[in-house]
């Protein structure tokens, strides 16, 4: 499975905070995938047709949000130890809802799932498709969060924290630009 901007964001968040926060973020992405799989099963081609006209503005909005997150992530690279933080600390709930909302900005997922649902042979199995899509996404996102947490533990010093934040910000920015 490819790692996109959301995966990099989850890995970076997990590296900078904790596995618990990263896992919650991963479950936000998996929940969005599950929602889109459900929409694809219920609405299929009709939903894909409704989303097509707004796909470009949603893609631009997602790219803008990702670029903003890249800037905020890069800023953390230059924060001195003990420096007061102006933003609220990351919590599992905040990570879950933020990644859920950001992942829902990508309508290509529902179009992709609709194509899969419409292309399968035979009737039935819609519930299994939704469950399978959610579980596959959840396992992948949790693996990414675990990897990010491991990297965060290995790079706990100031230089490692700075490098992790800058690399994460650069990759998020590149993927956001690629999204456009």
8 pLDDT more than 70: yes
pLDDT at 118 (0 to 100): 62
Q: Distance from CA of residue 164 to its chain's centroid? A: 18
25 pLDDT more than 90: yes
102 pLDDT more than 60: yes
Measured CA to CA, the distance from residue 116 to residue 66 in angstroms comes to 27
Q: Per-residue pLDDT tens for 41-97?
A: 887 667 667 766 777 787 787 778 778 878 877 887 777 655 545 556 689 999 999
pLDDT at 143 (0 to 100): 95
Please compute Rg for the chain using Cα positions: 17
Residues 150-174, mean pLDDT to the nearest whole number: 78
User: What are the CA-CA distances from residue 142 to residues 35, 131, 145, 149, 174 (Å)?
Assistant: 18, 16, 5, 10, 23
């Amino acid at each position: 499975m490819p790692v996109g901007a959301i995966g990099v964001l989850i890995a970076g968040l997990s590296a900078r905070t904790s596995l618990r926060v990263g896992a919650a973020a991963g479950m936000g992405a998996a929940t969005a995938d599950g929602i889109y799989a459900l929409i694809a099963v219920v609405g299929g081609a009709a939903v894909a047709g409704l989303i097509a006209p707004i796909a470009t503005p949603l893609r631009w909005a997602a790219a803008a949000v990702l670029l903003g997150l890249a800037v905020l992530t890069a800023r953390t690279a230059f924060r001195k130890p003990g420096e007061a933080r102006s933003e609220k600390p990351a919590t599992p709930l905040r990570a879950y809802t933020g990644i859920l909302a950001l992942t829902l900005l990508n309508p290509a997922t529902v179009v992709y799932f609709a194509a899969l649902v419409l292309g399968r042979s035979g009737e039935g199995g819609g519930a299994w498709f939704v469950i399978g899509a959610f579980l596959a996404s959840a396992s992948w996102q949790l693996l990414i969060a675990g990897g990010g947490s491991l990297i965060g533990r290995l790079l706990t010093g100031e230089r490692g924290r700075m490098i992790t934040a800058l690399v994460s910000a650069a990759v998020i920015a590149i993927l956001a630009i690629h999204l456009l």
